[in-house]
C-alpha cells in the first residue's frame, strides 16, 4: 500500500487543488471562472484560440519534480517541515483512471455554477465537457512514465493537449506521443542563472534542458518556449535567451511575469513580479536579438507573445492530434 504524501497534499487542498488518485491533481483556473461568469478569455484563448471555459488544468505529478524553482506554486520538499522524495513517483495510477478522475474533479469544481444567473446554461454545459487540457499546473509531468498513454486517452475523448515540461527529461520527450502543443520552460539564459532560479535536483539538468530545446525542431506540433521572469533574478542577458531560442527555433515564445501566488509567497516577495511594461521591454530585447517578432500581449496576464510564424495555429479548429500522431495512426 502506498500512502499519499499527506503534508503537501493538505497544503494543496487548502489552496484549491483537488487531488486525483495518488499523484495527480486538478485546479480550476480563475480564467475559467471569469469565462463562465463574464464571458472573458484567457491569454491562451487570445493567442491560440482555445475556448477558455472548456479548459481543464491538471498535473499527473503534482508534488513530484526534478527542480525546485523559486517561483513554483507548489510546496517543495523541506518547506514547512514537509519531507518526501520529490524526484520520482513511487507508485503510478492507470492513465484512464487519471483522466476519469480529472474530468470528474473538474466537473465537481464547477458544479456550483449551475443555475448561477451570471452563467448562461449553454456555457455551463459546455464547461463541464472540457475540450482542452493543460497538463501543467504543478510538478514535472514527464516523471509519469505513462505520459504518452495519458495524452492518447485525452485525445480519444476529443480533447486537445497542452503539455508543459521543464525539459529535464529529454529521453521521455524522444519517446513521447506528441501533444497538440508542447511547452518547455526556459527560465534562465545560462547555467549560472538556472542554478539560482530553478535550483536543479540533478547536476546535469541544465545540459538535459539544452538537449530538449535542441529537439524542439523535430516536433511536428507547435512548440513554445516559456520564459517566466522573476524580477531581480533572471531578467538579464537577453543575448543568452536569444542563443537558447535559436537552438530550438520554437514556433512561439511566451515571456511572462512571475505571479506571487500559492507556495511561492514563502520564497519571494510581491516585488519579484515585473510589471507588464517591464515584461514588454524585456521581451522586446529578446525579440530583437533572436529574430522573433513581438506579435501580441495581454496586460491582465503580464505576458507577451513572440513568433516567426506568419499565422497562428487556432486550436478551436478540430485539431485534436498532432501531425506526427496522424502519421503514426
Q: How confident is the model at residue 264 (pLDDT cuts 50, 70, 90)?
A: confident
Strands, E, within the chain: which ranges?
Answer: 18-20, 24-26, 55-59, 132-135, 160-165, 181-185, 223-229, 252-257, 293-298, 303-307
pLDDT of residue 226: 97
| Arithmetic mean of pLDDT over the chain | 88
Reported residue count of the chain is 329
pLDDT digits (tens, 9 = 90+) for 63-113: 899 998 888 877 776 665 555 455 678 889 999 999 999 999 999 999 999
| Residue range 14-28, pLDDT digits in tens | 777 889 999 999 999
pLDDT at 139 over 50: yes
pLDDT digits (tens, 9 = 90+) for 184-224: 999 999 999 999 999 998 899 999 999 999 999 999 999 99
Domain 6-310+321-328 has CATH 3.20.20.70: yes
What is the predicted pLDDT for the residue at 316?
A: 53
pTM greater than 0.85: yes
pLDDT (mean) for 169-198: 96
What are the domain boundaries of the chain? 6-310+321-328
115-134, pLDDT tens digit by residue?
999 999 999 999 999 999 99
pLDDT of 261 reads 80
Q: Using pLDDT thresholds of 50, 70 and 90, give the confidence band for residue 143.
A: very high
> In which order are the strands placed within the sheet that holds 24-26?
18-20, 24-26, 55-59, 132-135, 160-165, 181-185, 223-229, 252-257, 303-307, 293-298
Amino acid at each position: 500500500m502506498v500512502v499519499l504524501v499527506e503534508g503537501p497534499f493538505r497544503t494543496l487542498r487548502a489552496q484549491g487543488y483537488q487531488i486525483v488518485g495518488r499523484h495527480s491533481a486538478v485546479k480550476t483556473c480563475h480564467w475559467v471562472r471569469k469565462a463562465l461568469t463574464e464571458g472573458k478569455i484567457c491569454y491562451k484563448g487570445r493567442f491560440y484560440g482555445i475556448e477558455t471555459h472548456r479548459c481543464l488544468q491538471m498535473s499527473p505529478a503534482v508534488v513530484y519534480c526534478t527542480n525546485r524553482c523559486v517561483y513554483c506554486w507548489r510546496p517543495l520538499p523541506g518547506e514547512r517541515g514537509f519531507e518526501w522524495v520529490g524526484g520520482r513517483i513511487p507508485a503510478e495510477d492507470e492513465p484512464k483512471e487519471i483522466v476519469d478522475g480529472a474530468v470528474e474533479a473538474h466537473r465537481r469544481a464547477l458544479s456550483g455554477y449551475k443555475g448561477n444567473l451570471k452563467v448562461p446554461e449553454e456555457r455551463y454545459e459546455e464547461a463541464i465537457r472540457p475540450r482542452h487540457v493543460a497538463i501543467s499546473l504543478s510538478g514535472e509531468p514527464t516523471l509519469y512514465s505513462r505520459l504518452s498513454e495519458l495524452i492518447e486517452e485525452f485525445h480519444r475523448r476529443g480533447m486537445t493537449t497542452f503539455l508543459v515540461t521543464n525539459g529535464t527529461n529529454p529521453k521521455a520527450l524522444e519517446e513521447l506521443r506528441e501533444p497538440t502543443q508542447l511547452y518547455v520552460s526556459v527560465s534562465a539564459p545560462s547555467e549560472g542563472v538556472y542554478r539560482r532560479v530553478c535550483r536543479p535536483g540533478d547536476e546535469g539538468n541544465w545540459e538535459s534542458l539544452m538537449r530538449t530545446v535542441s529537439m524542439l525542431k523535430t516536433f511536428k506540433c507547435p512548440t513554445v518556449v516559456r520564459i517566466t521572469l522573476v524580477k531581480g533574478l533572471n531578467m538579464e542577458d537577453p543575448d543568452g535567451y536569444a542563443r537558447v531560442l535559436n537552438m530550438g527555433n520554437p514556433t512561439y515564445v511566451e515571456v511572462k511575469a512571475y505571479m506571487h501566488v500559492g507556495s511561492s509567497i514563502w520564497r519571494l516577495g510581491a516585488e519579484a513580479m515585473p510589471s507588464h511594461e517591464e515584461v514588454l521591454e524585456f521581451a522586446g530585447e529578446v525579440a530583437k536579438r533572436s529574430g522573433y517578432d513581438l506579435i501580441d500581449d495581454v496586460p491582465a496576464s503580464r505576458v507577451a507573445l513572440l513568433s516567426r510564424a506568419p499565422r497562428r495555429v487556432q486550436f478551436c479548429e478540430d485539431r485534436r492530434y498532432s501531425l506526427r500522431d496522424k502519421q503514426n495512426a
